[in-house]
Chains A and B, each alone.
Chain A
């Protein structure tokens, strides 16, 4: 009896129904387990990078994505004070392009940036096939199926949070920048030695950055590739690789490791860890230079006189208090 029922068709139908039920359950669980705020206490991953959720809707014009080089080296508050542009750094430690893509999608749910700056160092992070699959999944379905990211929250789940809608309240004064007033000099040799050799960008990174480009085009956003000064992660071979990549796609690319005198950069005072990441002083110099570039090439509004943005002036004052070098 039972055997004869197990025809191929019924097996396929059963499998599909089973997967459907599982999908629905996962969607429900994802909703229940997702953090309902973007504060540190809410359990959201990287609260600094996700502060854009609680900025006024469509108030951010420039978004920076990338890895730790980006959140150490880009200072939205400097950009605000010198040029009046509103920006947010949604960078995360070890963020790879797929993570940038996922982040960008989250940003687009509540902001309408005019420019996205992608820090290119993450393109060279080595990932294995398993990680690529997970990253690809997260960049496409990471939000609805956030249970895979937030499953460990079962330990801290509060009943009152389970069914309510998210309500974002965090206020990040630095707009995603991680401030460090430490100074550790890099006194080694010059690392940008001109060469014709070229590093290979992992194919998965190429594919994903192309997806980011597509997403930007669909939403009328300009895309700018940027490399922060970093002795330990950058070299001329990588520069050549990204330069070629950008040229093929007609994307602008700024490499701040070249001609560092342009912005008066000094490895003995501007790094917090001896050549890998920038400190607040380095970030200030770099951001002003980027601001000049943006002023020249893009038409971004200056909101400094706009009363709707008065909070930014307050934030700048707070930010200054935390700058010690």
Chain B
């Protein structure tokens, strides 16, 4: 979780990520930053996020992102 927050903070400095309820609808994460984020996450957690995983539900909140990472590392 710490690591994830750090990556997010690097990507979009100054956003209070844990407090956000919908990162996609509020345009904090657009498709551009999602791609950058996916690249970082793939490297950091040694997972493979595929286009199927790139749906709003998986990127809505920090918790959702974290849950996705957990799920993919179990695979």
Q: Within 8 Å by CB, do A and B touch in the complex?
A: no
Which B positions have Cβ atoms within 8 angstroms of A? Answer: none
Interface positions of A (Cβ within 8 A of B): none
